[in-house]
Amino acid sequence: MKHLLLSLLCLPLFFCAKQQVNPELQADLKPSSSSSGSEQQNLLFWDGKSEMLRGVAIGNSVWSLQEYVNLAINDSSDYIRMSADGFNAARFYLSYKFFENDAEPYSYKQGGWLFLDRNIELAKKNGIKLILNMHVPQGGFQSNGEGGALWDVEENQKRLIALWREIAKRYANETSIAAYDILNEPVVSKGKYQWQKLAQEIVNVIREVDNNHLILVERMNAIIPNDYSNDSEMNFIFVEDPANKWGLTFHFYSPIEYTHQYASWSDFFRNTDGGTYPNLNGRDKAYLEKEVDLYLKIAQEKNLPIYLGEFGVIEATLNKEKGGFVWVSDMLDILKSRNVSFTYHAWVDGSFGIKDRHELESLFRNKFFGRR
């Protein structure tokens, strides 16, 4: 979550019949009636198997907002190493610019498909499931509140909807894709209803061509310019899915002033010391549990699966005095005890990445996954 400020029904039956869908593989995503307490139901994937995701994000430098040129920044060694560490999933960040130019909308680039195909193959060879996440949509990156053009320019929404239909059509039967995470951290221009409408339209067109894959719908992150308040449902929205294969997703960086202290890209935190973890002012594991459970409670009430798409701490916290390793360790304990699938942000990232921070990588590899 780099640059964070604060933190239709199917087409007629003749078309549906063309999809390569085995009815026996169509799983009901809802938790069984025996589910209780804080433990969450595993996410179910298109093959009908229940499997916990323990993953990491692959950022693909989407924040540079550049046109697609050569994105071969992930090679086999990354996937081999992730698998060796114990990870079985990767949240794969996408920018619409991988696939189309603003000057030529709806004309999709072969290079973008080749890049994605290559990563799917590498992930498959190493037992890694990919969660395709639209991190930068037409209209702009959302997290900073600078992507209002997605909401205020209808053509941008149409292009995003069309792109998701093309992705789903192309990969409808790709078993190494775990889910479609349809938009990262929506920051709307007027109200929650905008995200509700757009999300439903994206689900509708995906289901025109793909009844197989899980669809993940993130909570509304904020309202421009800076309304980050939560409603009684933690800003989650709820869609109608004829395939009954969708779930909720959220991100967790609490307390934000701690996890993002000295973040160079943020006017709020650039020169701010966010303190330590834990401390004597209620910043401890019990606090994290209480905050995480606010999100999990909504999923339980709605009888839906939930997945933690991002969490992590900035490099400035990764020393004994600041306690960043303790924060990550406590979060892993909380997620494990509650049976919550997750992807950590991120594999490679100048501020949050674990690949080049041996002690952080070892925390996952040795402590969490029990590997040496």
Q: What is the pLDDT of residues 25-60, one digit of tens each?
A: 333 333 333 333 445 666 766 666 677 899 999 998
How crowded is the C-beta side of 163, counted as CA atoms within 13 Å? 32
Is the residue at 237 inside a domain?
Answer: yes
- The domain of 94 spans 41-253+336-367
CB 317 within 8 A of CB 360: no
Is the residue at 206 inside a domain?
Answer: yes
Tokens 């869908």 label which residue? 21
Is the residue at 132 inside a domain?
Answer: yes
Is the residue at 181 inside a domain?
Answer: yes
Is the residue at 300 inside a domain?
Answer: no
Q: Tokens representing 206?
A: 């995906």
CATH of the domain at 246: 3.20.20.80
| Number of domains, the chain | 1
Tell me whether the omega of the peptide bond preceding residue 278 falls within 30 degrees of 0, making it cis: yes
Query: Position 92: which residue type?
Result: F
Q: Say what the pLDDT of residue 265 is.
A: 85
Closest CA to 296 of 333, 332, 341, 328: 341
**Contacting residues for 333 by C-beta, under 8 A, at least 6 apart:** 285
CB 258 within 8 A of CB 279: no
Is the residue at 326 inside a domain?
Answer: no
Is the residue at 189 inside a domain?
Answer: yes
Per DSSP, which regions of the chain are E strands? Answer: 54-58, 89-95, 129-136, 177-181, 187-188, 214-218, 222-223, 246-252, 306-311, 341-344
Q: Tokens representing 21?
A: 């869908």
Q: Tell me the per-residue pLDDT of 334-344, one tens digit each, with 9 for 90 and over.
A: 999 999 999 99
Q: What's the predicted TM-score (pTM) here?
A: 0.89
Exposure b/e, 166-178, CB count within 10 A at least 16 = b: bbbeebbebebbb
Is the residue at 219 inside a domain?
Answer: yes
* DSSP-assigned letters across all residues of 87-113: --EEEEEEEGGGT-BTTBTT---HHHH
- Spell out, as residue ranges, where the chain has pLDDT lower than 70: 1-42, 44-49, 64-74
The DSSP element (H or E) to which 199 belongs, if any, is helix 192-209
